[in-house]
Amino acid sequence: MKHNSICILGGSGFVGKQIANRLVSRNRRVRILTRNRNNHRDLLVLPNIELIEADVFDNLQLKKYLNGVDAVINLVGILNEKQHNGDGFRKVHVELPKNLLGICLDLNIRRILHMSALNADANLGTSFYLRTKGEGENTLHTYSTDRLAVTSFRPSVIFGPGDSFLNRFADLLKVMPYFFPLACATARFAPVYVGDVADRFVQALDDKSTYGQRYNVCGPEEYSLKQLVEYTAKTLDLNRRVISLPDFISQLQANVLEWFPGKPFSVDNYNSLKLDSVCQHGEHEATSLAMVVPSYLGDDNRQTDYDAMRRMTRQP
The pLDDT, as a whole number, for residue 298 is 61
Q: What is the mean pLDDT of residues 212-227?
A: 97
Residue 312, pLDDT > 70, answer no
Q: What is the mean pLDDT of residues 199-221?
A: 97
Q: Picking from 15-24, 48-57, 181-190, 273-282, which range would have the lowest pLDDT averaged per residue?
A: 273-282
Average pLDDT of the chain to the nearest whole number? 92
- Candidates 99, 89, 216; CA nearest to 151 is 216
The pLDDT, as a whole number, for residue 280 is 86
State what percent of residues in the chain have pLDDT above 70. Answer: 94
The pLDDT, as a whole number, for residue 307 is 45
Residue 299, pLDDT > 90, answer no
Burial 161-196 (b: 16+ CB within 10 A, else e): bbbebbbebbeebeeeeeebebbbbebbbbbbbbbb
The pLDDT, as a whole number, for residue 303 is 44
Q: pLDDT tier at 311 (50, 70, 90 boundaries)? A: very low
Q: What is the mean pLDDT of residues 60-88?
A: 97
**Which residues neighbour 66 within 8 Å (Cβ) at sequence distance 6 or greater?**
7, 72, 103, 104, 107, 109
Name the residue with higher pLDDT: 41 or 16: 16
Q: What is the mean pLDDT of residues 199-204?
A: 98
- Candidates 200, 224, 230, 225; CA nearest to 213 is 200
pTM score of the predicted model:
0.92
Q: Architecture of domain 5-158+192-217+280-285 in CATH?
A: 3-Layer(aba) Sandwich (3.40)
Q: pLDDT tier at 233 (50, 70, 90 boundaries)? A: very high
Q: What is the DSSP string of 151-199?
A: EEEEES-EESTT-SSHHHHHHHHHHS-SEEEETTTT-EE--EEHHHHHH
**Which residues neighbour 279 within 8 Å (Cβ) at sequence distance 6 or greater?**
118, 156, 190, 216, 217, 218
What does the domain layout of the chain look like in residue ranges? Answer: 5-158+192-217+280-285
Q: What is the mean pLDDT of residues 49-66?
A: 97
- Candidates 209, 51, 217, 200; CA nearest to 119 is 217
Residue 6, pLDDT > 50, answer yes
pLDDT tens track for 113-170: 999 999 999 999 999 999 999 999 999 999 877 789 999 999 999 999 999 999 999 9
Sign of the Cα torsion 190, 194, 199, 204 reads: positive
Name the residue with higher pLDDT: 147 or 310: 147
Distance CA 204, CA 282 (A): 18
Q: pLDDT tier at 304 (50, 70, 90 boundaries)? A: very low
Residue 79, pLDDT > 60, answer yes
